[in-house]
Amino acid sequence: MSFFPSLFKTLTPLNTLNNVYSLLPIVLFIIFLPHLMTAPIVITLYIISILAYFSLHTFGIIPLPGKMIRFLLIILALFLLVMTYGFLFSQKMSLSLLAIMISLKLLEIHNEQDRRNIFLVLFLGYFILMTHFLRSQDILLALFAFVNSLILTLMLSAFNRKPQNALPVKDSMILILRLFIKAIPIAIVLFLFFPRVPGPLWSLPEDGQAGTTGLSDKMYPGSVSNLSDSDEIAFRVDFHDTIPTSDTLYWRGPVLTQTDGFLWSQNEEKPLQKPFNKIIKNTQEAVRYTITLEPHRHKWLFTLEMPIKVQGDTIKGFYFTQDLQLLNQTRIQQLTQYHITSMTGYFFSKMSMNELLLARQFPMGSNPRTYELGQQWKNTLIDTKQIVLHGLHYFKEKPFYYTKQPSVMLNNPSDQFLFDTQRGFCEHYASSFVLLMRAAGIPARVVTGYQGIEKNTVGDYYIVRQSNAHAWAEVWIAGEGWLRVDPTGMIPPERIEDDIFQTNLDRLSFSSLNLPDLPSLSAQQKTAMYELYQQINQSIDMIKHTWNNWILGYDTNKQSLLLNFMGLKANWQTLIFLLIGGLVFVILAFQLISLYQRYKNIDKVYYYYTKFIHKLNQADLNIRLSDAPEAIKQRACEHFPQKKIAIQIIIDHYIKIRYAHHSDNQAIQKLSQQFIKEVKQYKVSNKKKVLL
């Protein structure tokens, strides 16, 4: 059998068993695709090779391998897995092993009649679709899984029928869609009333730092500016009340205290020992909001400074560190939603001596000119506040420029930035300012996170992207505690270089930078095509956000609100009652719909003809439905001469409706209505009931 005729036969409508058999490797490849896109290249090539080999076999080009070859392929697969992942039984390794084993299972399918192995592979295909949700529960992935589940069910339907009884694709698809439509009400009941489980739904061994995105727990010159052009979403925010001003839109992340003059890193993540309200004093009204955080494979939970209340089903065991960073007990491996109440006005009341000493340490032997300038300020200025203000004005008065493309600074980067290049991004300003403060004897540290928001006008919520990544400083002032200081806000508008604006300008609307007139800048770039692109992009993101809020974010709080709205108590007994009651209601509804459809599709002319025969039998005329209408008419007229005319009219009308050739549908419909009316009006003359 040649290749191209076989391929053409495969691409014809799926109305034979052999066609579906040839499509098995193609369907599996599509189902594996999300895994193959993230798997190591050697694993991906191995799986594709197995699928391609089996595909060539279905076209009759090559035979299946023998037992020895299959055994060697298994050994090779295990070798590749160990070489790629080591002996760590991680999530990625497990998924790769599963995909390889299913691919190898194809090589045990001898022909299209090997129904057992074919069914096994197809059922494992459903399982593979479920494993995609271990990585993400995005709406696009859900649509991908839904479409592929339709395809798998279509193939099961085709395999389950004998070749001579196979349905065309259109008929099979209609049948399968009906099954899926019937499953939707059951799925809705289970979704709404099945008790929600606190914490993440999936909990498998983590893959260490693999796949981390966004900010890092370390900072060096250029590390934050590398994110400045990324449109990847870090998290989305729904504000419940008013929107904070741009000078308070600092989303706190990793706090960096230790440095060697080049690399900044975190101190040991020790939990805060004292109650939070004993350290943080609130001075302004609270800001309430909900964050939907994209998975970043770290423990960080971003909040506005400073959070006083945190709630969320998908976060468990969160805590504050001594650096006042909010952490989750486990890494954020999936979309995470939590509710925050923050005080944008606050001050710290206490700090341990060890932490203050650590925040004063200047790395000896590094950045000598920075150290000398800080010492000079310490000796000439009166108090801490004056030194801080003088340091800020230093960036304003000297010719410092804000740019995403600073020069490479490897040796003593703070000295190079402050005295040579004077061009940098936020990490250059924050790290240099902290070193100046430490040289002047003031405790200081670097805080990284995100600054600002971008409004989605379609969905009326806000987006924080990786391009919002920012670094700022904190200094300790006796009596006031840690004070946030952002030296980038001191740069005059004329010294902000054009590359800062070569981005999505909407995200700069709430920026802390001292920006020029943004509307005039955006008017030059926001063409009609740009506006259309933004509208489409925001609409797509709004759909994703709605999915995240109402499907993925349907937690115990939302379930309780639904039950309270229904006037019910939110407890397990109520949920079990609603779950069972809802399923019973759905099943009964299906039965009623089925009965209605039967009644709707019934042949009413024949139905009333049988009623007429029954009426005659009730009057002691022993006839059967199988008797010819003319014979029934003759016997009935002889038996009931007083109703001869009525009987003749009814039988003649029935014969005309059933057996005459009709060209006028309206006339026959009118005659049918008249026939039904005549049968209803016919009265039996003898009340003796005879069984039909």
Q: What is the pLDDT of residue 524?
A: 47
Per-residue DSSP letters for 240-284? SSPPPPGGG-EEEEEEEEEESSS-EEEPP-PBP-S-HHHHEEE-S
Look up tokens 């260490």; give the residue: 208
Q: How far apart are CA 436 and CA 441, in angstroms?
A: 9
State the average pLDDT over residues 188-194. 91
pLDDT at 134: 83
Give pTM, 2 decimals. Answer: 0.75
Q: Would the pLDDT of 498 be above 70?
A: yes
Give the model's pLDDT for residue 198: 60
pLDDT interval class at 166 (50, 70, 90): low
Q: What is the pLDDT of residue 668?
A: 82
Q: What is the pLDDT of residue 10?
A: 43
For the chain, domain boundaries: 3-167, 218-513, 604-681
Q: Dump pLDDT digits (tens) for 661-688.
A: 766 778 888 888 888 888 888 887 654 4
Mean pLDDT on 469-476: 93
Is residue 395 scored above 50 in pLDDT? yes
Taking Cα atoms as reference points, which of 314, 313, 290 lies closest to residue 302? 290
Q: Judge whether 434 and 362 are in contact, CB under 8 Å.
A: no
Task: Kindly tell me the sign of the dihedral angle through the C-alpha atoms of 96, 97, 102, 108.
Answer: positive
Question: Rounded CA gap, 503 and 230, in Å?
Answer: 9
pLDDT in tens, 49-78: 999 999 999 888 889 898 899 999 999 999
* Average pLDDT value for residue range 419-445: 94
Mean pLDDT of the chain: 84
pLDDT at 442 over 90: yes
pLDDT of residue 662: 66
CA proximity to 304, closest of 214, 356, 235, 257: 235
Q: Identify the top-confidence range among 57-61, 65-69, 175-179, 528-532.
A: 65-69
Please report the pLDDT score of residue 215 as a whole number.
86
Q: Distance between CA atoms of 84 and 41, rounded to whole angstroms?
A: 10
**Interval 507-533 mean pLDDT:** 66
pLDDT computed for residue 6 by the predictor? 47
CB 637 within 8 A of CB 647: yes
3-state SS track over 71-104: HHHHHHHHHHHHHHHCCCCCHHHHHHHHHHHHHH
Q: What is the pLDDT of residue 418?
A: 94
- At residue 434, the pLDDT reads 96
Q: Report pLDDT for 297.
A: 86
Q: What's residue 521's pLDDT?
A: 47
pLDDT-derived band at 196, boundaries 50, 70, 90? confident
